[in-house]
Amino acid sequence: MKFGDTYTEFLHKEQVRESEKCSHVEYKRLKKVLKTCQSCKTLQEASTADQQEVAANQNKQLCQCQSCPACDQAFFTELLKEVSDIALCFSLRVRHLLHLHVATGMQRYLLRLRQCFMNDQHAMVEKGRMLIEYVTMNAIAIRKILKKYDKVHSSQNGKIFKSKMRAEHIELLQSPWLIELGAFSLNLHGLDGEGLNELSGHFSCDLDATPPIITLILPDSLKMEYDLTCAVCLETVFNPYALSCGHLFCKSCACSAASVFIFQGPKSAALDAKCPICREAGVYAKAVHMLELDLLLKIRCKDYWKERYTAERAEILKQSKEFWDLQAKYAVY
Q: What is the pLDDT along the chain (333 residues), one digit of tens a residue?
A: 688 888 888 888 877 666 567 888 888 888 887 777 665 555 455 454 445 554 444 444 444 444 566 566 667 888 888 999 999 999 998 988 888 776 666 666 666 666 565 556 677 778 888 888 888 889 989 988 888 888 887 778 888 888 888 888 888 988 999 999 989 888 876 544 444 443 344 788 899 888 999 998 876 667 889 999 999 999 999 999 999 999 999 999 999 999 999 999 999 999 999 999 999 999 999 999 999 999 999 999 999 999 999 999 999 999 999 888 888 877 665
- Residue 317's CB is within 10 A of a number of other CB atoms, namely 12
Amino acid 198: pLDDT: 39
3-state secondary structure of 6: helix
Amino acid 311: pLDDT: 94
Q: Where does residue 202 fall: left (phi above 0), alpha (psi -120 to 50 degrees), or beta otherwise?
A: beta
CB 62 within 8 A of CB 177: no
Distance of alpha carbon 163 from alpha carbon 158, whole angstroms: 9
- Give the DSSP letter of residue 174: G
Distance of alpha carbon 162 from alpha carbon 275, whole angstroms: 21
Amino acid 70: pLDDT: 57
**248-250 β-sheet, strand order:** 248-250, 240-242, 288-289
Amino acid 178: pLDDT: 92
Stated pTM of the model: 0.80
Three-state SS annotation for 185-206: HHHHHCCCCCCCCCCCCEEEEE
Amino acid 38: pLDDT: 61
